[in-house]
Amino acid sequence: MQARKKITINDIKAKKGKEKIVAITAYDALMSAIFDEEVDIILVGDSLKMSFGGESETLGATMEEMLYHAKAVCKGASRAFIIADMPFGSYATKEMALQNALRFYKESAVDSIKVEVGLDKVDIVRALCDEGIAVMAHIGLMPQYARFEGGFKVKGKNESQAKLLVDTACAMQEAGAFGILCEGIQASVAENITRELDIPTIGIGAGSCCDGQILVWSDVFGFFDKFQPKFVRRYCNGKEILKQAIKEYAKDVKEVRFPNIQESY
Ligand code: KIV
């Protein structure tokens, strides 16, 4: 079978208003290889600190960790457009943002980086885009602000929040961002943002009107079951499937049914 063509930033932008964009997170080559044919975007999210590292927030992610996982994801995928999260603190100033984003470009094959932003970050996003770095701007519920805001807060619940979100999205488009990730935003507000912009919006907990949807892989496959946010849909019970398999393996080893003759040298 012939490999399908690599998805570029132009393909992602061209889908706006024509075809929904499918995105999922991945943190390693095994998963990205499985997802590659089916999705448009793979995000190496700093959510890996929670769903992979067992932490309760994303703030501890480091550049070295994100680069390690970005490289692994790129090794597994040849078609999907790959975005890496800039970790908390890595884009606090223009200089830091440029230095760290350039590391993603030089040390891995990611197609883009993602930053969590408010209006205060417009100049940083502009500086990155001016340097030739493709930027996805993440607005709304921003996990990197969880300590500052006292938790994971859904946004757009009142008029001033809704206006600020639309203004921020428009400012990011003007600064050069190629897409907006809308997390935890009232569906009607995400719909307005999507309508206002020429660039695509990718939603998570932001209703069905965004140009695309993203979910964290361990949520999609039922591996993370400490709690289930309202916006998550589980497509299988991965935890139970693996539990059953590990039980069978342990039983076979204990009862000397593994390895058998064919599995031995
Ligand atoms: O880090 C991440 O996985 C994300 C998603 C929640 C969109 O930013």
The per-residue pLDDT for range 141-199, each reduced to its tens digit, is 999 999 999 999 999 999 999 999 999 999 999 999 999 999 999 999 999 999 999 99
State the catalytic residues.
183
Q: Same domain, yes or no, for 188 and 253? A: no
Considering only CA atoms, which of 65, 34, 38 is closest in space to residue 49?
65
Q: Same domain, yes or no, for 176 and 245? A: no
Closest residue to atom 5 of ligand 1, CA basis: 45
pLDDT at 4: 84
Q: 52 lies in which domain range?
A: 9-234
What is the per-residue burial (b if ≥16 Cβ within 10 Å, else e) of 21-46? Answer: bbbbbbbbbebbeebbeebbbbbbbb
Q: Same domain, yes or no, for 97 and 164? A: yes
3-state secondary structure of 247: helix
* 224 pLDDT tier (thresholds 50, 70, 90): confident
Residue 135: CATH number of its domain: 3.20.20.60
Ligand 1 atom at minimum distance from 204 CA:
7
Q: Of the residues 21, 46, 220, which should be mutated to test ligand 1's pocket, given the most ligand atoms within 8 Å of the CB? A: 46
| 160 is annotated as contributing to ligand binding | no
Per the structure, the count of domains in the chain is 2
Q: Which residues does residue 85 pair with via DSSP β-bridges, in sequence order?
A: 114
* 2 pLDDT tier (thresholds 50, 70, 90): low
Residue 60 pLDDT greater than 80, yes or no: yes
Ligand 1 binding site (Cβ under 6 Å of any ligand atom): 25, 43, 45-47, 85, 138, 181, 183, 204, 214, 216
